[in-house]
A and B are shown apart, each in its own frame.
Chain A
Amino acid sequence: MITVDNLSKTFTLHILNGKRIAACRNISFSVPPGGFLGLSGPSGAGKSTVLKCIYRTYLSTNGAIHYHSASYGKVDLATLPDRAVIDIRNREMGYVSQFLKVIPRVSALDVIMEPILARNGVSRDAAKKRASGLLERLRIPSHLFDAYPATFSGGEQQRINIARAVGWKPRLLLLDEPTASLDTNSIGIVLEILKELRNEGTTMIGVFHDTTLLASVTDAVYHVG
């Protein structure tokens, strides 16, 4: 499904007189369709960098990211034109960041419904049902459904973030510490939701801080560092 081949990312900081910072070096791994690869390694090793290179928030310095797209066939995400990357993000590739970054002044329910409506071609009612179902499972109190997530607690924001990313059932899901600010109970629920998504065929690559967690949910681990 996705093969990362000798990927490196170096930042050149012009405002610090061209200082170069190597964020990750010679990363190579492969994930089969429906697989779940965990990325391990110490803080600052470049785990998030790898995910951001795949999602194209970062431009790779070297190497290739071969992805078998449903709509484009075999592509290299490192060099694919911007427009195609946007299209693949809209149809196939989801990303859960460490922090919630949503559009301000949009309610929690709408934050989750928006990608479902735009990407799954379902009715408003069906999207609303799926979104509120997810929020209930993630134990977001119902009186917060129409509130703005920007005002939520850290843990609540993270759960909204996850619900937004899984609600539309992407084909490839990149997870950057999705459980970092959650309590044990919520972690259990999130893992259950991820497991269901995998059963429906979603391929995943994830960074988890907790190594036991990492081992229990993934079926392979790649060490970055």
Chain B
Amino acid sequence: MEPLIRIRGLSKRFGPGCSRCLEATGPEQHTNLCPHCGSVMACNDVSFDLFRNEALGVVGESGSGKSTLVRLLHFEWEATEGTVEMHRSAGIASLPEIFADGSDYSSNLLGLSHFQKRRLRNALMGIVYQNPHLGLRMQVSSGGNIAERLLGAGWRHIGNMRQRAAELLKITEFPVERMDEPPCNFSGGMQQRVQIAKALSNNPLILFLDEVTTGLDLSVQARVLDLIRNLRSEFNLSMLVVSHDLGVINLLCQRTMVMKSGHVVEFGLTDQILQDPQHRYTQLLVASQL
């Protein structure tokens, strides 16, 4: 089976950059900060494939580049270098121009216009952030948060949007009778459920989960994870699961990549990463688990 998206040589640098950035940063140097020019190499030469209906794990310490990777793929930040190509089977009817005749993969999505990127994101992607403030408008009603996303995906009928929002909130086990209340009225676990409902509202092919259970108490964490596991099989989603919690990765992902100082240092089956880690850093990570 061919990958849904192919990511090659993806890099993100903050700062001017110099000729010595590459050799001065990375896992061996234990830093992503170039001492010569002060640039931060947040993500460096990241390449991987994401397949249909696959949950791919990304682990690594704070500052390893995990969230940067998600923000690049979600078109929130501009990549410095690299290509992201999507398989034709993703079926982006609204953007036929990105597929050259006869080619199975699109042109480099990172080179699209802002307008095209937004359409692509609205049609195919969903994201759930660790911090609900990033994904939700806290003062707007919970249902309104979802409707806003539906508007972006081309919905116009208020009654239909309301009905769809209620359906999604029901799936994510949110008290639907309270959908007119704003997210700021709810607990962190409930806010995550609104975020997940919002992320699913456009029937995405790809769901980005950025530390979604970090900071939730254990019983809530367990229920949110159960929800995500069920959604994956129900909605046929491809997921990129970013977490520093190996337990979360083990529960959700078949394949995992390990990041350190902006680089991917190891890539493998999740059980192999956990039981036979190869890289020095992965061994440290696994040995540090409680």
Contacts and interface: CB of A to CB of B under 8 A. Distances in A.
A and B: partners?
Answer: yes
Interface in A17-60: 52, 56-59
B18 interface: no
Given A82-B255, A86-B269, A59 B276 contact: yes
Interface string A72-87: 0000000000110110
Interface string A87-112: 00000000000000001110000000
Interface stretch (A8-16, A62-70, A180-188, A198-206): A8-16
Contacts of B287: 15
Contacts of A56: 269, 272
Interface residues on A, range: 10 to 19
Contacts, number: 44
A59 B268 contact: yes
A159 B283 CA distance: 32
Contacts of A58: 272, 275-276
Contact of A86 (B254, B278, B279): B254
Contact of A105 (B1, B226, B255, B271): B226
A14 B222 CA distance: 33
A105 B222 contact: yes
B156 interface: no
B272 A57 contact: yes
Contacts of A86: 254-255, 269
B222 A57 contact: no
Nearest to B226: A105
A46 to B, nearest CB: 13
Nearest to B51: A83
Interface range on chain B: under 10, 10 to 19, 20 to 34, or 35 or more?
20 to 34
A209 to B, nearest CB: 21
B222 to A, nearest CB: 6
Given A58-B276, A86-B255, A14 B271 contact: no
Nearest to B229: A103
A141 to B, nearest CB: 26
Contacts of B134: none
A17 to B, nearest CB: 11
Interface in A125-148: none
Contact of A57 (B276, B279, B284): B276
A104 B1 CA distance: 31
Interface in B254-273: 254-255, 267-269, 271-272
Given A86-B254, A103-B251, A14 B283 contact: yes
A57 B268 CA distance: 10
Contacts of A13: 283
A81 to B, nearest CB: 10
A104 B276 CA distance: 23
A117 to B, nearest CB: 10
Contacts of A52: 275-276
Contacts of A85: 269
Contacts of B226: 105
A15 B275 CA distance: 15
Interface of A: 11-15, 52, 56-59, 82-83, 85-86, 103-105
3 smallest CB-CB distances across A and B, nearest first, come from: A14-B280, A58-B276, A57-B271
Interface of B: 1, 51, 222, 226, 229, 251, 254-255, 267-269, 271-272, 275-276, 278-280, 283-284, 287
9 contacts: A14-B279, A14-B283, A15-B280, A15-B284, A56-B269, A83-B51, A85-B269, A103-B251, A104-B222
Given A57-B269, A105-B222, 10 more contacts: A14-B280, A14-B284, A15-B280, A15-B287, A57-B271, A57-B276, A58-B272, A82-B255, A86-B254, A103-B229
